[in-house]
Amino acid sequence: MEATTYQEVQGLSRMTVGELREKHLDVFGEETHSYHKEVLRKRIAWRLQALAEGDLSERALPLPPRPGSGKYLWAGLLGMGIR
């Protein structure tokens, strides 16, 4: 990691939630619904590193669930349960 990126990521831990939300808007170009400081910090840090060093390759990105497998991530949130 480059020194400037490292310093910018380290500076995130000293920011308030409001400052992190503004930084999220700057980095991602959209507002966030999160007010959780650690979630914001980690998400922004990941994005800063991805912009500086390149994003994940297509092979490294997670695969979406296969239709018919019955293992959808949203099922638990919707109260359906996974069978």
Q: Which domain holds residue 46?
A: 3-58
Kindly state the tokens that stand for 65. Answer: 């669930």
Tell me if 23 is assigned to some domain.
yes
The pTM assigned to this predicted structure is 0.67
Tell me if 75 is assigned to some domain.
no
Kindly state the tokens that stand for 4. Answer: 């400037």
Tell me if 25 is assigned to some domain.
yes
User: What SS3 class is residue 81?
Assistant: coil
Tell me if 78 is assigned to some domain.
no
Tell me if 76 is assigned to some domain.
no
Q: What is the pLDDT of residues 28-55, one digit of tens each?
A: 999 999 999 999 999 999 999 988 888 7
Q: What is the pLDDT of residues 58-83, one digit of tens each?
A: 666 676 666 655 555 555 555 554 44
DSSP-assigned letter for residue 29 = S
Side chain identity at 67, as an amino acid letter? P
Q: Given this model, what pLDDT does residue 82 score? A: 46
Q: How many domains does the chain have?
A: 1
Tell me if 64 is assigned to some domain.
no
